[in-house]
Structure 1
Amino acid sequence: MLRLMAEKCTGILLSHGTIEENKRAIYIYGFELFCSTCICIMSIFVLSMIFHYSEYAITFLLCFVPIRTVAGGYHAKSYGGCFLLTNLIAICCIGVSLWLWRSKTLWIEAFLWLLLAVSFTYIWISAPVNSKKYPQKKERMDKNRKYSRRILLIETTLLLLIKLWFDHSVTYTAIITSCVVAVMITMAKKGGD
């Protein structure tokens, strides 16, 4: 279905002369990625609305999608696998963060912030991951490294501000999500593309 949608969109661009025939494959791939990402994000939003966890889903997506886009990390072998894995990760990150928030102690709080510091440091040093399947040029890797670091600085600033002003449970969702991103980068570096 994704392939069919991607081919249709690419066909429209070709028929209008917007792109050249020799770029067909890359546009099909780009449209497949775009459609897959949109469907996955919509699924996470729908689930969050059903279970009344919209602010956690938004937090998850803000802490997962931007950094993964430029930092890379583990990729499932199919779009279906990616959809299931991303939805499962979202559910787990939100569930674990809510459970930890309800069990909140000074030790849990300190441990999570330490875990965040370790995760951010690891991502700062390790990102981006150069995929074996879709290797990037050095210029793209350098740009993605800069973008990754900017995203980490923005996330750090926002998390500290939320912690200081609101002390809201979404900070736990952001921390757990960032730890998962670090794990996914580790998996990709160890050979799981």
Structure 2
Amino acid sequence: MFSKASVSLTNRLIKNNMIKQEDFEIYQFGIENFLMRACHIVSYLILGICFRLLPELVIFLIAFVPLRENSGGYHAKTPLKCYFLSCLAVLTFLCLVRFSPVSIMEYSAILSLASSLILFLIVPVESENKPLDDTELTYYKSKAGFLIIIELALVLIFKMLLWNELSFIITLSLTFELLIALAGINLKSRKSMIQG
């Protein structure tokens, strides 16, 4: 779907002399990625509006997306599977925020500390789609580590200020990334066992 639309849009740009034919693949790839991301974001916002948790969702995405991009973990093999899994993750987040009792939110500091410590040990997690060399591993490790520290600090500050819901939202971003990282490690180890 996005592939056809991106090809059509890129051909239109070439036809209108806005880009050169030899740059077709670069622009087509960029347009396709833009369309996919736009579809993801619009879907997330619709879910947030349906649950009446749009501000909470925006805070979660601000915390989660940079952490996800720098920590790695499981990646779906197809754009459609990626879309459905991402929407499922957002839906799960919204359900947890909407339906979790306040008593569970009280434990956000403990959960975020445990998630952070494990993430520190395992990130970045490579995937088949995104193998990393030594320089990239060092770069992503330090960047992910910095983000983990910032988010953990925010959880503790929000906890001290008794802003339990905000603390819980940031905790969920750390916990979701931990689950994705562990899924990526599990998939990688299963594949190496099959090949070995």
TM > 0.5 fold call = yes
Aligned residue type for 2:77: K
User: Taking structure 2 as the reference length, what is the TM-score of the superposition?
Assistant: 0.79
SS in 2 for 1:169: helix
Q: Distance in 2 between matches of 1:52 and 1:44?
A: 12
How do 1:84-123 residues align onto structure 2 when only pairs under 5 Å count?
Answer: 84-100=84-100, 103-105=101-103, 108-109=104-105, 111-123=107-119
Partner residue of 2:184 out of 171, 180, 188: 188
Does structure 1 conserve the Cα–Cα contact (< 8 Å) formed by 2:109 and 2:155?
A: no
Cα offset for 1:120? 1.0
Does structure 1 conserve the Cα–Cα contact (< 8 Å) formed by 2:108 and 2:167?
A: no
Q: Distance in 2 between matches of 1:154 and 1:180?
A: 16
2:172 paired residue number: 176
1:133 paired residue number: 129
List alignment gaps of at least 5 residues for structure 2.
192-196
How do 1:1-193 residues align onto structure 2 when only pairs under 5 Å count?
Answer: 1-8=1-8, 12=13, 16=18, 21=22, 25=25, 28-100=28-100, 103-105=101-103, 108-109=104-105, 111-191=107-187
User: Is the alpha carbon distance of 1:96 and 1:51 closer, same or farther for their aligned partners in structure 2, counting shifts above 3 Å?
Assistant: closer
Does structure 2 conserve the Cα–Cα contact (< 8 Å) formed by 1:40 and 1:83?
A: yes
Tell me the alpha carbon deviations over residues 78-121 of structure 1, each in whole angstroms, 9 at most, x when there is no partner. Answer: 11111111111111112113322xx223xx34543222111111
SS in 2 for 1:129: coil
User: Taking structure 1 as the reference length, what is the TM-score of the superposition?
Assistant: 0.81
User: Is the alpha carbon distance of 1:8 and 1:170 closer, same or farther for their aligned partners in structure 2, counting shifts above 3 Å?
Assistant: farther
Does structure 2 conserve the Cα–Cα contact (< 8 Å) formed by 1:60 and 1:173?
A: yes
When the two structures are aligned, how many residues end up with a matched partner?
A: 187
Aligned residue type for 1:76: A
User: Is the alpha carbon distance of 1:30 and 1:140 closer, same or farther for their aligned partners in structure 2, counting shifts above 3 Å?
Assistant: farther
C-alpha RMSD over aligned residues: 2.7
User: Is the alpha carbon distance of 1:126 and 1:32 closer, same or farther for their aligned partners in structure 2, counting shifts above 3 Å?
Assistant: farther
List alignment gaps of at least 5 residues for structure 1.
none
Higher CA-based Rg: 2
